[in-house]
Structure 1
Amino acid sequence: MILNNLVRSNDKALRLIEQLLQSGRVNHQDLAIGPVNLYDVAASILAELGETIRSKAQDVVLSGCETAWVKTDEALLRLLLENILENAVKYPPTSGRVHVMIAAACNNTWLVQVCDTGPGIPAHQAEAVFQRFFRIPGSKRPEGTGLGLTIAADAAKRLSAAIALGVPTYGYRLQA
């Protein structure tokens, strides 16, 4: 029991350090702009999250345009999507659902929409979740650091993309 608690505490500390480093790099790394397939990046991240998805018996669906090419920095795009998709998989209950849809939007942009069956975020806190270290008061999920959506928002800003929390979806647009 004590050993398990130590391991969990160590894992949480390592995750916090990793996210702090990611947060610092987002605004300071040079961008390597090139063609990136949005659908392939999302599929790759979901594959990496496969163990978590299977352990929670979640129904995860990726749909939409498989040829969604954008000119962007792939590493930063991956970081943005990792943080959004990790949250989408982390918070729904066992046997929950996550739907990731990639679609063409207006003005030569793409929309990535993530819908999940998690507990949701109250409308009055929709902007606050993008602030550093913000945790929803009374959250029963202590494993978060409060940095994931901050990192995603910073990455989106750096990529000249938009990220927004809607009811009940996450979404952001990237210039094609």
Structure 2
Amino acid sequence: MEKALFAGGCFWCMVEPFEEQDGIISVTSGYTGGHIENPTYEQVKSQTTGHTEAVEIVFDPKKMTFEELLEIYWNQTDPTDAMGQFMDRGDSYRPVIFYYNEQQKTAAEQSKRALESSGKYTESIVTKIEEADTFYKAEEEHQQFYKKNPRRYQQEKRERAEWEETNAAEARL
């Protein structure tokens, strides 16, 4: 088994797209990259801990490659927005691909370059690629949020889509 660690806005919306894939053993919501040990959701949300909301993915590389995980990741985030994702604003929602080894770092860099040269985005790709730091599991109510709170999760997804649509329309003006 291997691990991957991704940040892309609110972790509530980052779990389902990965968890539903063959080869994924677990997806855990949590926090990483900050200066406070064992932070709480309220602390991270306050934007004072330096932590980013992230998902830790345990996967079977014989069934799902890290490169395939990167493809899923790019389709869940706005890689042109350094200060948050969709309506989630601030450092704790910044897009980051964390790597655990040199192979993951190389794959992430290659994937980012491929996205940059694809022409899919007119703005620069600002997603960071950083070495993985200590990962702290979020409180139990944040785990598998889409299953525990399906209405709220669907509302979050709708708001994300509406935000993206509105901002894309404004960018075209």
TM over 0.5: no
Larger Rg: 1
Q: TM-score, normalised by structure 2?
A: 0.29
Q: TM-score, normalised by structure 1?
A: 0.28
Higher RCO (Cα < 8 Å, 6 or more apart): 2
